[in-house]
Structure 1
Amino acid sequence: MTTIEQNLENYADLALKVGVNLQKGQTLYVRTPIYAAPFVRALTKRAYEMGSKNVHIEWNDEEATRIKFEYAPEKAFSEFPQWKADPLVKAAEDNAAFLSITGGNPDLLKDANPEHVATQQKAAGKASETFRSYIQSDKVSWSIVAVPSPEWAKKVFPDSSEDDAVDKLWSSIFSATRMHEPDFVDAWKNHLATLDEKQQTLNNKKFHALHYKAEGTDLVIELPKTHIWASGGSESKAGVNFVANIPTEEVFTAAKKTGVNGTVTSTKPLNYGGTLITNFTLTFKDGKVVDYRAEEGEATLKGILEGDEGSKYIGEVALVPHRSPISDTNIIFYNTLFDENASNHLALGSAYAFNIEGGKDMSKEELEDKGINQSITHVDFMMGSADMDIDGLHEDGTREPVFRKGAWAI
């Protein structure tokens, strides 16, 4: 076996053993771009060796997507075939494990009509609403891993040749995902245990709100009364432990829908559907975005905010220290999976049902009544920095430091 083949097999083990935690007799559902085929083949082999009943692969082609946005008629973007969404629901009901592969061209749709991008995302979001509810309530085991495309690699390492850029990006991915550890599965267990300690500390504090202060940011986020902090590890309805994001450095909860006030400024570019949004600021009043601006990609940001009514509110609140294996690479990945785990971040749109007591078994209406935002979108954006301070606020007005200068203070 060559070094490349061994690396791909090891990375497949990470995705299967740590990510979705594939069980014997379980179906694996993989959604992947076609450029990741060598890795997907290694993944498929390892899945069957681990006893998977079946590996279903849903391929997509970035170039075909770009062509669609260049040549398709306008009505094409308001359609999303239900027959693509329904098999995901059926597989979820059959307790499949779901693995998504990211890492495409960050600039894929930079020349596309932003209204078409927004319309397409909205159509896909509506069609996939049922399946997304399975994901956001952890009824199934699911995970996301990255495989570098040449275009992504060149975006991150523009001064390198294409082959060198891909090699460098693979190395950076392996570093960020602890693949260089002698026993990476054991290293992940130790890492998740550390995150769990922070999760427990925050749950014991039962803060009423968080107050963020940094350059360009002065924001207060109230938390639901029965909020629950979660960490990188999750548990499916079947009792299987899994890690949704590989890598992960976050501890997160839900915002109270109507309890966000102030201004927040992004600190890393947001890659949304092949378009970059940079240096943007959002102003909130009673939870809702009432003003926004962006240096680049403002029309795309507008499209996100107009996805539906819930798109204008915060769902997820995630705490990530400024120093981590990801941020220590000193790389802007132009990929949310990595950049969000190098920075405190928030998510516009839907919250996770499991971030509130009893939320996994609540209806949409019950979640809304508890202050949990519902939306067809969920878009993470990065707003942490080395100078960020965060205070936890209690209902009696007292404060406790949670972050100081981008580092944990509890």
Structure 2
Amino acid sequence: MSDPTPVRLPHPLLAEALKLFFPVAAVHAVLLPLIWVTLLSFDLPFARQVPPGQWHAHEMIFGTYGAALAGFLGSAMPEWTDTRARRGRALLLLLAFWLPGRLIGFVGADALILPAAATDFAFLMLLLIYIARPLIERRSTRHGSFLLWISLFALIELAIRAAWFLGETVWSARLLQAALAVFLVFLSLAIARINVVVVNHALDPTGETTPYRPHPGRQNLAAGLVGLQLSAALVAPDSAVPAWLALAAAAAFLDRLAEWFIGRAVLRAEVLALAAANACGGLGFLVLGLAGLGAPVSPVTGQHLLSVGALGLAVMAVFVIAGLRHSGRDLVLPGAAKLALALMAAAGLMRILPEIGIGESLIGLHYQLAAGLWSAAFAVWLIGFWPILTSPKGGEGCD
């Protein structure tokens, strides 16, 4: 009797979304600041009417963080719904739509705004389809909020590109802040789910008990208030309403810090990173709110607390936690993971502290130092986790 036909396995990087898109996001995160700050000296060779700073912010949000979002949701949604994850050619197609916009963004090619808009929108719509499918199969609405926010994220992307094309850079600046706010909603929703697993593992590594239960009122409050603040900032940007709502969002994030009152277990690197990301979210909105009400603080500092501090730490924590769990490994952080988290925290501090009077002698130089630490964090993660992500995981078939 002949042997049955062997099951063809995909390359490990194509086995699920995070194994492909986390390394892709890391490579982009390493190159983007180094090229922009070190090689191009904060300029872009083909940028004409679009400010280089807006190109940079866009590529950070829709490039690095967009790929991280694809990896996270592309793997998490099938896990949450107990359905089969997309793999193989489906992931390569998603990558093919993501890549053109990044190549255009590296040089700030204003003339190619419309093609980049088309491919970025196609990338987000295909991601939407990929994560909607498991919910439809299970007839579930439990994680349906992600569909709403990805749809809004895609519409904001189109609006930014349209504003650039029409030369409305004041509006595109507001829309970039809105895109950052949407990503902070993703952060809030993701932490609410990830933190349950991480904290319970920290309290009982055996997994025999689940001593930690999140407060249900905190699950979506921060995300909801960020959404309200986003809407107010677009509709009434010159009023005090966005500032007051920013303070409300800050209170929601800071209130969630109570979830990390778990004793010595909070000092575990993965637990502390999630707590610090949440704290940076609260402090960022606090600064934005105070600045909007006339306090002597810069809203730019608040935006960097959110974009580098909160999102940088959260994304790196997700890379570490999900990278280990989805590779069949225990949640015991290797040295590279701890170093990557420490470097990301240092990047956030270097970007923010000189702006609030701590280390003022580094003003100007702190851009390069923060960019170097940011790139180093992702490079360390990529080098340390490459063997983990590229190791075959038995029993996986291929489309």
Higher relative helix content: 2
Greater relative CO, 1 or 2 (CA 8 Å, sep 6+)? 2
Give the TM bin, normalised by the shorter chain: under 0.3
| TM-score for the superposition, normalised by structure 2 | 0.26
Higher relative strand content: 1
